[in-house]
Structure 1
């Protein structure tokens, strides 16, 4: 009952008023609507008394608020009674569309569909086939994009401005809802909403972080970053639910607890720790649903539960990827790499057994169809609560304790082979050893040189594996540099352009995009000490390419020489080879054969120059003089070779002149 008092005081006699320190007064309130006037005596500090001061207090009329619901509500009635008692009202305005960076190719394709439809309406022509083809391409591109999202892309969807808030989901899944306020310690934090609602006739306590739907609401809600008052408010409602036996459903959607000086002075850490300790002792089922992003202890303070469910594009992390990148890599541009290393997605949490289930979202995110997403949340809540309500209080506490005991657990005493064995310092774990690379290059060089053909299966497999490793390293480098989204966008535009006009080369704007991406990639790659593994693999592949090129050139040169050298010269070369074999066996070679060998070498050099081949150098071996008999034969053979070479050269000259 709201009561307003009207109070008047004055001097009713010749004596002056004497209200001083140490006086007392008795006031009779009129609670029945009658005028009650009583004289009041005031005691002066020096012992004198004065009369004549009268105080009148009268209660004004007040309005009684009826209970918002009748005793018996027909469940089939959809109107005629108050369903939701809350200041929050569903938005009647359609939110402004917001395009994420990786969605721009889809928006371009959607604009083309709208343009074709507009042309069909203006001209009256039938473009149904073209529209159907474009719509099929759009649906396929949408499916391909949202089924292969990177962690940083899922985080951007979780932070989407139009993503439905906690109260949006509560209004969609409950039949009745009463919002409860205040922490009974001086403040009502708007960043956390609490209340009691019913789902299929069963009452639940709802607690969640509330973001705003526009800038004004975000400022009022402090961007869903609670102060200690908010966590104490949630704690009060948890104790209330535990006392009355209401199951607790919490919704997590916050970047973290508010980290200002006043919050720290009011005990932010103590409030979070108190919530964590208390939630492990509550004897009612607790289900937590991560609808957006869950930031560190600010999210965990209402998420110590029996079952944790996450929306498909939600994220839960100990530190935001931007903060992690700034700490580890000293640059926020490494946020995509940090998001991948932090394992923040719902899929990774489910694999690590932190999350107990994943709630599906429509293609494009929960903001595309909030009502459908809310119904999926409702089904998940009903199924999970059916399982938890079958447990008694002790089983619930034991189940909650074991859930967090199993996270990050390991068993001692069991030898486990590491995935990679490395004999190096921990700080150099990502730096390959130079000796290993040199050894691998030597082995690869031997395989290439020893192979009889260019398609040796062993060398081909090794080169193919090296290319695959290099492709993976380049992909990882693009992700860590934050260029993966730009690259995917360019790929999508290229595929779209090739499908529309197969024979037309890419336009100038697309080429500029590709050049810009490559310049940024090369600039980041050129930084000292960065991407050492990628640089060494590139050097290795370039060296292998040079080896293969040299081998192909030598084979080609050998074939050309064999075609141009006459058969007679080949026979004389065989005689020289036989003489060399005799010399290697230690047999004597005469002087004439040695002279003939030298002449043959010189003639061979002249012949190679005549056919356009450059002589880099001629090596001269120090050999013992041949015996006289062999020397005569060598001289004779060299003379015949010289005559044959001269005959061939003269024949070529006469052929050119003719």
Structure 2
């Protein structure tokens, strides 16, 4: 490109001041003709250096190399395999398994060093290890499942996505100026079918955890997820969300940016998506942070995943004021996959290998892939209206309770008294016992003044229970159980109303009795019932005889006692003293022995000691004392001391013995002994 300029020489000032209507740049053309024109040239060039670059087929190459290091997806993504293998982490409840592993390693090392054959021992230890592993992971407690869900080596969202998809393209940004790394979104294909994948992404080491904010999204992350959900809804892509977060990030900045609003917006918008939505809990699902991408048609959970409204530690700190109660809180919260399926919050459980998902991530991913395909096949059969209604009803029924429907309690309390196990007595033995009791009663009637201790009442009770059981069995055999129960209800109702028994009810009772008697002979236990009823009747007769014998013995005993008292008072002098003492007691107006004064009490004791037949009276007193003070060991011991003092005194005790006996009676047990003495006097 060339440029030129003109310079003027030899022009006067007057010439320059002339009109320049026909000039050039204020210079008259006449002057231009006189002047000398000099032209200067300058060259200007622009150069660019081009370098060869590798051409990319964005976003995917037409024929990707399947043998590329780390796999095709990792090769094309920023999410690369870790350079160093993660260190094994042993949970507290897994320590017994680690000890067994160490034993196996030690035995193998010993076999290699010594050259001896320890194959049997190694095989035995390995079998023991596998059995212990199976027992442990099939009986995990809720808090143990929480620890497995938080395991540092547990596969993350992108690990599963790269294992189950043939192609995956990550999509970034919330279109508001930020891209939250804690939530990853992207399009992927499974068996040639496209899906929108959205999930929480945790880190695999400390560096990644800091980058991913430990899987706790900010409002930008939820807005990014919502943007991609609407994108999938517009293009008709089914949505699969993966939940693995302790909860939404709750710092001050997130609150300022509208954390609650972002979660609420997601909850509302997900119920309007016209495509199938599946949510899979692969780790821990914490509160609203998990639910913001979890309003799906189907909620699936890995076997050791947990889904909670508050972490066990937070719940324990609130309810029990200490985080150490987290095992109890985890059990009460019902946060495991099995419990949530019972509550109809989760719709299915995806199995994990023994040892957790980190023991075999590839196998776990394939189980997730299988569950996604089966569930999508079910949901794609629904039209849009059915899909929206299905999603609404899933959440509408959570926590629902309908009154009026009887529900069995989890803990049942049996309010009925436990039936006593009655050992049935054989007929032969029963007959022998009845005869023995008869004989004892007859012997007691003839000879013994004191009735013998018989097991008659106990035998009657047991036999009556057996007869009742035989009748119940006969009623069942005749098929009259329902009729009997119905009739019992009518009778009890009539008794409760305090009404006169209806003649119709009497007729029903009589008809049932007649029908039962007619069918009773056909009952299989009729023979046993007849024998036991006969023995019961005989025992009742024996009981009546025994009671009559007791009454006769009581009358005889009273007569003998009166005879002894009369004999003791046969001496006129003693009779006179007795009558005077009796009149004095009546004149005192005492209602009981305790109301008598000490002087009168001493007179009574002195009179008793003066009796000639002191031994016979003493026996009567002892018998009465034993019957009244049988419940007190202390009084028994005092009465025994009195028995020992009376024989020592003899018929004519000295003043010292008299004072000792009187003092013992009135200071230690005056009330009881005086009552007995007075009763014997006025029998």
What TM bracket, shorter-length normalisation?
Answer: 0.5 to 0.7
Q: Partner residue of 1:407?
A: 398
Q: Which residue of 1 aligns with 2:359?
A: 368
Provide Cα deviations, 1:27-46, integer angstroms capped at 9, x if missing partner: xxxxxxxxxxxxxxxxxxxx
Quote the Cα distance in structure 1 between the aligned partners of 2:161 and 2:63.
20
Secondary structure, aligned partner of 1:394 = helix
- SS of 1:623's partner is helix
Further displaced range: 310-319 or 326-335: 326-335
Residue in 2 that maps onto 1:208: 199
1:61–1:300 CA distance, 2 compared to 1 (3 A): farther
Match of 1:525 in 2: none
Q: Which residue is equivalent to 1:131?
A: 122
Q: Is the 8 A contact 2:624 2:676 kept in 1?
A: no
Question: Aligned residue for 2:481?
Answer: none
Higher relative contact order (CA 8 A, sep 6+): 1
CA gap 1:153/1:83 in 2 versus in 1, 3 angstroms: closer
**Paired residue for 1:595, among 618, 625, 629?**
618
Q: Any idea what SS the aligned residue of 2:108 has?
A: helix
Q: Is the 8 A contact 1:588 1:627 kept in 2?
A: no
Task: Give the Cα separation in 1 of the matches to 2:57 and 2:323.
Answer: 54
Q: 1:59 to 1:322 in 2, by over 3 A?
A: farther
Corresponding position: 1:88 with 2:79: yes
Structure 2: how far apart are the matches of 1:583 and 1:61? 141
The one-character-per-residue Cα deviations of 1:309-351 (angstroms, maximum 9, x if unpaired) are: 1000000000111111111111111111111111000001111
Match of residue 67 from structure 1: 57
1:283 alignment partner, one of 274, 279, 283: 274
> Structure 2 CA distance, aligned partners of 1:585 and 1:73?
122
CA contact (8 A) 2:278 2:297 kept: yes
Secondary structure at 2:349 match in 1: strand
Q: Across the two proteins, how many residue pairs are aligned to each other?
A: 420
Determine the structure 1 residue equivalent to 2:332.
341
Preserved contact between residue 284 and residue 305 of structure 2 (Cα < 8 Å) = yes
Q: Distance in 2 between matches of 1:182 and 1:627?
A: 112
1:57–1:331 Cα change, 3 Å:
farther
Q: What's the counterpart of residue 296 of structure 2? A: 305
Report the alpha carbon displacement of residue 245 of structure 1 after superposing the two structures with TM.
1.2
Q: Flag the 1:191–1:623 CA change in 2: closer, same or farther, 3 A.
A: same
| Corresponding residue SS for 1:204 | strand
Match of 1:419 in 2: 409
In structure 2, distance between residues paired with 1:225 and 1:192: 8
More helix by share: 2
The answer for the alignment partner of 1:386 in structure 2 is 377
Mapping for residues 249-288 of structure 1, pairs under 5 Å: 249-288=240-279
CA-CA distance at 1:177 after TM superposition? 1.2
Q: Give 1:146-295 correspondences, 5 Å limit.
A: 146-295=137-286
Q: Distance in 2 between matches of 1:285 and 1:144?
A: 38
Work out which of the two has the higher radius of gyration on C-alpha atoms and give 1 or 2: 2
SS at match of 1:251: strand
Q: Check the 8 A contact 2:59/2:169 in 1, yes or no.
A: no
- The yes-or-no answer on 1:118 pairing with 2:171 is no
CA contact (8 A) 1:166 1:210 kept: yes
1:429-508 equivalences in 2 (<5 Å): none
- Deviation of 1:201 after TM superposition, in Å, equals 1.1
Other-structure match for 1:104 = 95
Residues 174 and 587 (structure 1), Cα distance of their counterparts in 2 relative to 1, 3 Å cut: farther
Q: Work out the CA distance in 1 between the residues paired with 2:634 and 2:112.
A: 73
C-alpha distance in 2, partners of 1:227/1:157?
Answer: 25
Distance 1:58 1:325 in 2: 73
CA distance in 1, matches of 2:287, 2:217: 13
**TM-score, length-scaled by structure 2:** 0.55
Q: Secondary structure at the match of 1:114?
A: helix
Q: CA deviation at 1:157?
A: 0.5
Q: Post-superposition shift, 1:73?
A: 4.5
Q: Deviations over 1:391-420 (max 9, x none)?
A: 2222211111111112122234x2536739
Q: TM-score, structure 1 length as denominator?
A: 0.57
* Post-superposition CA distance 1:343-377 (Å, at most 9, x none): 00000111111111100001111011111111111
For residues 143 and 393 of structure 1, the distance between their equivalents in structure 2, rounded to whole angstroms, comes to 44
What runs of 5+ residues in structure 1 fail to find an aligned partner? Answer: 1-55, 423-431, 433-439, 444-450, 457-577, 604-612, 632-658
